Amino acid sequence: MNRLLKLLLPVLILAVGFGVFQYLKQTRPDRPVTETRERVWRVALEPVEPRALAPMLELYGQVENPDLLRAAASASAQVARVLVREGERVVPGQLLLELDPRDLVSGLARTGAQVAELEAQLESERNGQESDRAALEQERRLLELSEDAVARAKSLTRRQVGSQNDLDLAEQDLARQRLAVSERSMRIADYPARRRALEARLQQARAEYEEARLAFARSRVVAPYAGVVSAVEVAVGDQVKTDEVLLSLYPLAGLEVRARIPAPYQAELAAALRNAGSLPASALVDGGRVGLVLERLAGEADPSGIDGLFTLTEGAEWLRIGQMLTLRLERPLRESVVAVPFAAVYGGNRVYTFVDGRMRAVAVRTLGSWFAPDGEERLLVAAPELVSGDPLVVTHMPNAVDGLRVEAHQ
C-alpha cells in the first residue's frame, strides 16, 4: 500500500498542476490588439509656377582697363612738380606733372642751331653754283686764249722766231687752264649730289629739332581725359631717364571686367553672343549695383574655359583697376521653367509633389541658378510633368521616397 502511494503521489501532483495551469490559461484576460499606424511627416508646400526665366551663372572677375595710360619722361630731366596723388580723379586738360624745362632748353637750342647752320650751307651752295657757272664761262674763254697762245708759240718756234722756253710756258699755262675748266665743270656737275646731301642733313636736323621741341612740350604731363590716377612713380627732385614711367592714368569710361567662363558654358554663351550681340550681368560693390554687359570672348581659350570681357553700363564710380568682383551673368531665356528652392531638389534630377497625402517623385532637368528680386537664390528646373498649381514639397526630407506619407503645414 505504501509502495503504491509512493508511485501515485508524483503523478497526482503533476495532474493537479496541469489542471491548475489549464484553469489559469482559460480564465486569463484577453490582450488588447495593438494597431500599427503609418507615420506622417509634416512638410511645407509651394505651388508650381512655370515661367520664362533666364538662368544665372555666377562668375568671378577682375577689373582692368585696356586704355591704361603710362606717362613716360620725354627726356632725361629732373622732376619739377607733381600735382596729383594716387587715386585722385582728374579732368581733361589738368596739369598732372612737370619736368624742369631748363633740362630741355639746351637740346632745343642746339638742334635749332644745327638747322640754321645747314640752311645757311645749303644757301651758300646755291650761290656757289651760280658763281661756278659764271666762272666756267670765263675759264673756257681763258682756255681758248691759252690754246691760241700755244699755237702762236709753236708757229714762231718753227720759224725760229720764238724760243722753246716761250712755247713751254704757253703749254704749261694751257695745261693749268684745262685743269681749272675740268675742276670747275666737275664741281658744277657734283652740285646736285652736294645739295641732296645737305638737304638730307637738314631734314635730319629738323627732325631732331622737332623731337626736342616735342620733348619740351611733353615735359608738362596733362590729362587727356577724365579719369583716375592709378599710380605715381616719382617725386619732386627725382632725376628721371628718357622713357621712364612717371605716372599711370586710366579713364572711367574704359573700365572692363575679365571673368573666367567655365568650359561647359562656353558654347552656349558663344552662340548667345552671336544671336543677341550681348548678355546682361550685374554685381554688388559696397552696397551699390554695378551693371555690366558681356560683349565678347577672349581670343584664346584652354581646357578649363575662356575669359569673358564685360563692359560697364552703370556703377563705374565704385570700381578700381585690379578689384575682384562676383558677377551674375544672365544666360539665354528659357520657357516654362520653375524656380524652386535648393532643398526641393534631390540628387540633382528629381523633385516631389504632394498627391493624396503622399510624395510623388517627378524627374526634372536642372538649368542653373536664378536670383529672385529679394536676392534669394533658387534653382531653375524643367519637367513636362510639372503643371501650374501643383503642390511642390519644398521641405528637404532625408528619407524621401516615392509614396512617403506627408501632411502639409503652413
CA dist., res. 144 & res. 148, Å (int): 6
If phi > 0 it is left, if psi is from -120 to 50 it is alpha, else beta; for residue 93 that is: left
Q: How many residues does the chain have?
A: 410
As a whole-number percent, the residues of the chain with pLDDT over 90 amount to 44
pLDDT at 144: 75
Query: Does pLDDT of 271 surpass 80?
Result: yes
Answer yes or no: is pLDDT of 184 > 80: no
Question: What pLDDT does 173 receive?
Answer: 78
Residue bearing the bigger pLDDT, 197 or 132: 197
Q: Which has the higher per-residue pLDDT, 35 or 52? A: 52
* Joined grid coordinates for residue 288: 551699390
- pLDDT band for 238, please (50, 70, 90 cuts): very high
Report helix angle 191-217 to 102-158, nearest 10: 170
DSSP string, 11-58: HHHHHHHHHHHHHHHHHSPPPPPPPP----EEE-EEE---EEE--EEE
Burial 261-284 (b: 16+ CB within 10 A, else e): beeebbeebeebbeeeeebebbbe
Which residues touch 252 (CB under 8 Å, ≥6 apart)?
226, 227, 228, 316, 317
Question: Three-state DSSP class for 77?
Answer: strand
pTM: 0.63
Residue 30 DSSP class: P
**Please, which residues bridge with residue 69 across strands?**
249
List CB contacts of 210: < 8 A, sequence separation 6 or more: none
Residue 388: exposed, middle, or buried by beta-carbon count in 10 A (0-12, 13-18, 19+)?
exposed
Instruction: Average the pLDDT over each of 28-37, 88-97, 125-134, 369-378 and give the range with the smallest value.
Output: 28-37
Residue 194 has what pLDDT?
A: 84
User: Scanning the structure block, which residue is given the C-alpha cell 484576460?
Assistant: 29
Q: What is the mean pLDDT of residues 136-162?
A: 73
Distance CA 20, CA 313 (A): 99
Instruction: Kindly give, in sequence order, each residue whose CB lies less than 8 Å from that of residue 267, ignoring residues fewer than 6 positions away.
Output: none
pLDDT, average across residues 1-27: 68
CATH class, domain 75-101+219-250, is mainly beta
d(CA 166, CA 23): 190
| pLDDT per residue as tens digits for the range 360-379 | 999 999 998 998 888 888 99
Contact 331, 56 (CB under 8 A): yes
Say what the pLDDT of residue 363 is.
94
45-54+334-408 CATH: 2.40.420
pLDDT of residue 7: 64
Per-residue pLDDT tens over the stretch 321-358: 889 999 999 999 999 999 999 999 998 899 999 999 89
Query: What radius of gyration do the chain's Cα atoms show?
Result: 53
**Residue 320 pLDDT:** 86
Q: Mean of the per-residue pLDDT values for the chain?
A: 86
Confidence of residue 108 (pLDDT cuts 50, 70, 90): confident
Measured CA to CA, the distance from residue 370 to residue 349 in angstroms comes to: 17
Which of 267, 331, 323, 258 shows the shortest CA–CA distance to 54?
331
Helical residues (DSSP H) of 28-161, grouped into ranges? 102-158
* Cα angle 53, 59, 64; round to 5: 125
387's grid cell: 503643371
**Structural fold of domain 57-65+255-330:** Elongation Factor Tu (Ef-tu); domain 3 (2.40.30)
Binning pLDDT at 50, 70 and 90, where does residue 161 land?
Answer: low
Least confident of 113-117, 172-176, 372-376: 172-176
* Cα–Cα distance measured from residue 63 to residue 43, given in angstroms and rounded to the nearest whole number: 45
* Cα angle value 194/198/203 (rounded, 5°): 150
Has residue 35 got a pLDDT over 60?
no
Q: Output the pLDDT for position 374.
A: 83
The Cα-based distances of 59 to 62, 260, 282 in angstroms read: 10, 7, 10
Tell me what the mean pLDDT of segment 115-139 comes to.
83
Give yes or no for residue 181 having a pLDDT over 80: no
